[in-house]
């Protein structure tokens, strides 16, 4: 039996604020009614600024971000289409695996886990593709397994410099809603996220934002689709509903989360995530440990993956935090299993939350043989937060 609240510091699903939880405890609505339509349409409208778009269509798909990935592929591409992708972490690898299973011809760039998307190499390959055989370029904006954020604007620059017409698909599952995302300015054709990370809701809805170009591609794409027919979904959305029964409680929670983010304001949301990330990175540096991200320029503001010393099993660090302190950290995935653990710092968190995460991580590290001074990481983060104290407070810190 554990006394007190559990402390959740995984990079998703994230903590659900109390007002969002309360919003989901409602009677089931008639999802074909005019009242539901009046409730639903503003959700699409209010998601648009979070994607950084005034032009894209927003589609909400029952499922997770992975469901939205599949819908993106099957609706906009055809079996045999050539696509350009990179593997540099678990989620970029999973996306490539899905693309292959759905029949795409993948041109793949493999990188060390901890590297960012190889924008220049993509640009070189796009410039060589003189006959436009590459139909889409895929980027994982924030690789959740490694704590690395890639430069979407730079990839758009390479596409434009090569005068290439490929669609630009971006996985923003652990970035959208927590860090700036500028779909229109970056020329993104299809962006993917889910409700369970920066949007502070349970898993249950994958969200797609589609440019006019992506919507036009659906007219000729031959990917098999039924439940994931985005054209049918958008048509139902225009009528204020879904072509099937939606997860209404998640939608009510999403409404409350969007209201919460609007009250905080998106600039304040993004500034808070930057502060928290800088505090975590300062703490890791004070421990003398390394992040998986190869340098701070590409370090994520939503999750930090931390390498443990060679003689310390990160799985034991995670287990100690869980069993002794009722605190949950993310595991190292793939080749990072046992070699790293992850602190998620996105969603409904503030500086006090991060200090708790660092304090518990220090104790778990020391109790598993890591030679660090207790309090060093916490003090380093406190120093960072003190220097940034003049920034506007967010509602999540109140």
Q: What is the tens place of the pLDDT at every residue in 231-289?
A: 999 999 999 999 999 999 999 999 999 999 999 999 999 999 999 999 999 999 999 99
- The answer to whether residues 47 and 126 belong to one domain is yes
* 3-state SS record for 289-356: CEECCCCHHHECCCEEEEECCCCCCHHHHHHHHHHHHCEEEEECCHHHCCCEEEEECCCCCCHHHHHH
CATH code assigned at 276: 3.90.1150.10
Q: Do 98 and 179 share a domain, yes or no?
A: yes
Does 272 share its domain with 258? Answer: no
Backbone angles phi, psi at 190, to 5 degrees: -150, 120
Distance CA 166, CA 134 (A): 6
- Pair (64, 183) in one structural domain: yes
CB neighbours of 116 closer than 8 A, spacing ≥ 6? 88, 148, 149, 150, 151, 294, 298
Q: Which of 240, 262, 284 is the last residue of a domain?
A: 262
246 and 272: one domain?
no
pLDDT tops 70 at residue 397: no
Q: CA 380 to CA 282: how far, in whole Å? A: 6
Q: Catalogue the long-range contacts made by 219-226 (C-beta closer than 8 Å, 24 or more residues apart).
A: 220/78, 221/74, 221/75, 221/76, 221/77, 221/78, 222/78, 222/79, 223/73, 223/74, 223/75, 223/76, 223/77, 223/78, 223/79, 223/102, 223/103, 224/74, 225/71, 225/74, 225/75
CB atoms within 10 A of CB 54: 9
Please say which residue of 230, 262, 294 terminates a domain: 262
The whole-number pLDDT of residue 5 equals 86
Domain-located, residue 8: no
Q: Which domain holds residue 366?
A: 266-397
pLDDT at 395: 47
**Tally of domains in the chain:** 2
Q: How confident is the model at residue 398 (pLDDT cuts 50, 70, 90)?
A: very low
Q: φ, ψ for residue 279 (rounded to 5)?
A: -65, -45
Residue 393 has a pLDDT of 57
Which phi and psi angles does 235 have, rounded to 5°? Answer: -65, -40
Q: How far apart are CA 83 and CA 5, in angstroms?
A: 46
Distance CA 372, CA 141 (A): 33
For residues 43 and 256, what is the distance between their CA atoms, to the nearest angstrom? 10
Q: pTM of this prediction?
A: 0.95
Same domain flag for 252 and 271: no
The answer to whether residue 59 is domain-embedded is: yes
Tell whether 11 is covered by a domain: no
- Both 333 and 186 in one domain: the answer is no
User: Based on the domain organization, do 215 and 361 belong to the same domain?
Assistant: no
Domain annotation covers residue 218: yes
Give me the pLDDT at residue 394, please.
53
Share of the chain above pLDDT 70, in %: 97
Task: Report yes or no on 187 lying in a domain.
Answer: yes
Q: What is the pLDDT of residue 318?
A: 98
Does residue 3 lie within any of the structural domains? no
Say whether both 174 and 106 belong to one domain. yes
Last residue of a domain, one of 227, 262, 297: 262
Which CATH number covers residue 197? 3.40.640.10
Does one domain contain both 247 and 318?
Answer: no
Give the Cα separation of 62 and 314 in Å (integer). Answer: 34
**Judgement on whether residues 300 and 252 belong to the same structural domain of the protein:** no
Assess if residue 374 is contained within a domain.
yes
Q: Please give the full DSSP string across 359-398, using - where no structure is assigned.
A: HHHHHHHHHTT----TTHHHHHHHHHHHHTTTSPPPGGG-
CB half-sphere exposure, 202, CA atoms < 13 A: 16
Give domain status of residue 60, yes or no: yes
How far apart CA 149 and CA 380 sit, in angstroms, is 23
pLDDT at 390 over 90: no
C-alpha span between 105 and 290 (Å, rounded): 36
> Using one digit for the tens of pLDDT, what is the confidence trace for 20-65?
999 999 999 999 999 999 999 999 999 999 999 999 999 999 999 9
d(Cα 8, Cα 365) in Å, to the nearest integer? 17
Same domain for 275 and 258:
no
């Amino acid at each position: 039996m554990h006394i007190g609240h559990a402390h959740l510091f995984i990079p998703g699903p994230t903590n659900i604020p109390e007002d969002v939880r309360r919003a989901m405890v409602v009677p089931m609505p008639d999802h074909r009614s005019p009242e539901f339509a009046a409730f639903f349409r503003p959700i699409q409208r209010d998601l648009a600024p979070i994607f950084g778009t005034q032009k894209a269509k927003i589609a909400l798909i029952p499922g997770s971000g992975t469901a939205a990935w599949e819908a993106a592929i099957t609706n906009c591409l055809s079996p045999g289409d050539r696509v350009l992708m990179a593997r540099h972490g678990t989620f970029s690898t999973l996306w490539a695996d899905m693309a292959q299973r759905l029949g795409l011809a993948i041109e793949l760039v493999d990188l060390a886990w901890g590297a960012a998307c190889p924008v220049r190499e993509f640009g070189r390959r796009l410039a060589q593709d003189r006959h436009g055989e590459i139909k889409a370029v895929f980027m994982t904006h924030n690789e959740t397994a490694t704590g690395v954020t890639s430069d979407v604007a730079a990839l758009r620059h390479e596409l434009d410099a090569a005068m290439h017409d490929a669609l630009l698909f971006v996985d923003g599952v652990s970035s959208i809603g927590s860090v700036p995302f500028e779909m229109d300015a970056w020329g993104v054709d299809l962006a993917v996220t889910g409700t369970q990370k920066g949007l502070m809701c349970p898993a249950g809805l994958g969200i797609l934002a589609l440019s006019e170009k992506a919507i036009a591609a659906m007219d000729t794409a031959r990917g098999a689709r039924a439940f994931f027919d985005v054209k049918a979904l958008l048509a139902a959305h225009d009528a204020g509903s879904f072509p099937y029964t939606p997860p209404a409680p998640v939608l009510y929670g999403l409404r409350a989360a969007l209201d919460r983010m609007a009250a905080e304001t998106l600039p304040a949301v993004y500034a808070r995530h930057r502060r928290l990330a800088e505090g975590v990175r300062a703490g890791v540096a004070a421990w003398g440990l390394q992040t998986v991200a190869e340098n701070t320029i590409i370090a994520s503001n939503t999750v930090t993956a931390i390498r443990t010393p060679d003689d310390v099993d990160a799985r034991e660090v995670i287990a100690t935090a869980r069993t002794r302190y009722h605190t949950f950290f993310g595991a190292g995935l793939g080749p990072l299993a046992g070699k790293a653990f992850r602190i998620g710092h996105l969603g409904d968190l503030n500086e006090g939350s991060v200090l708790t995460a660092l304090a518990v991580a220090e104790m778990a590290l020391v109790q598993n043989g890591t030679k660090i001074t207790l309090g060093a990481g916490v003090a380093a983060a406190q120093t960072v937060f003190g220097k940034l104290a003049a920034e506007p407070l967010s509602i999540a810190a109140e």
